Amino acid sequence: MKRLFLLLFFMMLFLNISAQKESTIRSIDSTSVKTRSESRLQMGGYGEVVLTRNFFSSNPARYTDAANFANDKGHGRFDIPHVVLWLGYDFGKGWSLGTEVEFEHGGTGSAVEMEVEEGGEYETEVEKGGEVVLEQFWINKAWLEGKVNLKIGHLIVPVGATNMYHMPTEFFTNMRPEGERTIMPCTWHQTGVSLWGKTKDWRYELLFLPGLDSDRFNSQNWIGGAAGSPYEFDIANSYAGAFRVDNFSVKGLRLSLSGYIGNSFKNSLSSTDGTKYKDVKGTVLLGAFDFCYDSHNIIVRGNFDYGHLYDSELITTFNMTMRKDSPSPKQHIGSDAIVGGLEVGYDLFGLNGKLRSQGESFYVFTRYEYYDSMFRTQGSVIENEWCARQNWVVGLNYRPMQDIVIKAEYGRGILATQYNNEPYVSLGIAFAGLFNKYFK
């Protein structure tokens, strides 16, 4: 691994990489259209460190037996939610490559140790929890200076605001907005085909993907855990489509519409034969609207997402009867899920011309969010009322430069009256950008 990084480092020096025009990485929109001053090799990434103190119980029974945990002193968490390394290359003639490796919660760690207390036996020890995920790997062909592109490989599915704009410099809170990262995969990535392009005022994208796996739906996260496969491959018995359209006609304003449709029930290794389930498709419909206004020292971001799952009662029944060793959570599943969020920030440094010219900013912000992964239920499906909640957050974002942000916030999760609210304080630091521009 050390040799690999040294090799990449000397490659960049050898290529005499010049400054990039953009200060933040947008790997989802990388094309092979570049000026002579730009390098064919691009390297960048993003990451965040978050320190949190939760003033509520972490006990799994805090919702089923809330009264017994009302006076819990809470708990603290130090976390590295995401560290992502991105590498892209322009082959020329419209062909380009993009890769993205993500280390979630510090990655994983294990070791083989000789146990003295057990007669010198060899044992495998789990030393660190987390995940290492290949989040993107695609080859892109561009025509007409990027107006038309065909991308094939492992892709970001840009449904909702957070999946499209998931870098830590693109939202105010320390963690990604809670509603969208709860009810849908986030960051949502699957292997498929994308047709996309950009003009002056528009960006569009159409995707062809394998369907989600209904075995992995659950109460709290709805379809959130269904994009990743527990196997060495993505099951593609069923197929799905997604789209996104962005408009930039008004200066400083982006308006976006995105959606997803696909069957999920037979997209599994589990046997779905039998008269009872022969007509079950488990079609997932998901629609999202989001916007961002960034001008006059003010940033306003908002989103609204609504999803519907057909056959949720029969899928719940099927999942609840699966074998104990299956990857299914075996939980009740809502037929409808909903998310609404709004955040507003004002840059106090925008009032100071000197600080503004130096690229510094200091945003005071607030965010409100409501979401419910069991907004509606079907038939005998049991509704968990704690799945519906509001979140209020107030905080600060200080940027000493465009690629680095220091965040502090106080938040409060507000649940139904029979449950305990969930207040917390959080401090974090994050970066996002292209490394190339620092080599001249």
Q: Which residue has the tokens 């521009």?
A: 437
Instruction: Report the sign of the C-alpha dihedral through residues 35, 432, 296, 19, in that order.
Output: negative
Q: Domain boundaries in the chain?
A: 2-107+123-438
Instruction: Give the model's pLDDT for residue 108.
Output: 82
Could you tell me which residues are beta bridge partners of residue 293?
253, 300
pLDDT, average across residues 206-234 = 91
Q: CA 16 to CA 7: how far, in whole Å?
A: 14
- Asked if residue 223 lies in contact with residue 181, where contact means CB atoms within 8 angstroms, the answer is no
pLDDT digits (tens, 9 = 90+) for 259-305: 999 999 988 887 777 778 888 999 999 999 999 999 999 999 999 99
Highest mean pLDDT among 84-93, 103-112, 270-279: 84-93
How many residues appear in the chain? 440
Average pLDDT for 71-99? 94
pLDDT of res. 333: 97
Of 281, 272, 276, the C-alpha closest to 240 is 281
**pTM of the predicted model as reported, rounded to 2 decimal places:** 0.87
Window from 102-116, 321-335, 370-384, 409-423 with minimum mean pLDDT: 102-116
**What does the pLDDT average to over 237-258?**
97
Asked whether 347 and 362 are in contact (CB, 8 A), the reply is yes
Share of the chain above pLDDT 70, in %: 88
| Tens-place pLDDT, residues 126-138 | 777 788 889 999 9
Q: Which two tokens stand for residue 186?
A: 């986030």
**Burial call 73-90: b when 16+ CB within 10 Å, e when fewer:** eeeeeebebbbbbbbbbb
pLDDT band at 23 (very low <50, low <70, confident <90, very high): very low
- Whether the Cβ atoms of residue 370 and residue 179 lie closer than 8 Å to each other: yes
Question: 353 vs 431, which has greater pLDDT?
Answer: 431
Please report the pLDDT score of residue 95 as a whole number: 96
Which two tokens mark 214?
Answer: 């209904």
Model pLDDT, residue 94: 95
Yes or no: say if 86 and 43 are a contact pair by the CB < 8 Å rule: yes
* Mean pLDDT score across all residues of the chain: 88
Q: Domain spanning 2-107+123-438 has what CATH number?
A: 2.40.160.10
Read off the pLDDT band of 19 (50, 70, 90): very low
As a three-state string, the secondary structure of the chain is CHHHHHHHHHHHHHCCCCCCCCCCCCHHHCCCCCCCCCCCEEEEEEEEEEEEEECCCCCCCCCCCHHHHCCCCCEEEEECCEEEEEEEEEEECCEEEEEEEEEECCCCEEEEEEEHHHCCEEEEEEEECCEEEEEEEEEEEEEHHHCEEEEEEEEECCCCHHHHCCCHHHCCCCCCCHHHHHHCCCCCEEEEEEEEEECCCEEEEEEEEECCCHHHCECCCECCCCCCCCCCCCCCCCEEEEEEEEECCCCCEEEEEEEEEECCCCCCCCCCCCHHHCCCCCCEEEEEEEEEEEECCEEEEEEEEEEEECCHHHHHHHHHCCCCCCCCCCCCCCCEEEEEEEEEEEEHHHHCHHHHHCCCEEEEEEEEEEEEEEEECCCCCCCCHHHEEEEEEEEEEEEEECCEEEEEEEEEEECCCCCCCEEEEEEEEEEEEECHHHCC
Angle at 315 between CA 309 and CA 321, to 5 degrees: 160
Q: Which residue has the tokens 């007509």?
A: 279
Q: Respond yes or no on whether the N-terminal peptide bond of residue 187 is cis (omega within 30° of 0).
A: yes
CA dihedral of residues 14, 19, 23, 29 (deg, nearest 10): -70
Per-residue pLDDT band for 391 (boundaries 50, 70, 90) equals very high
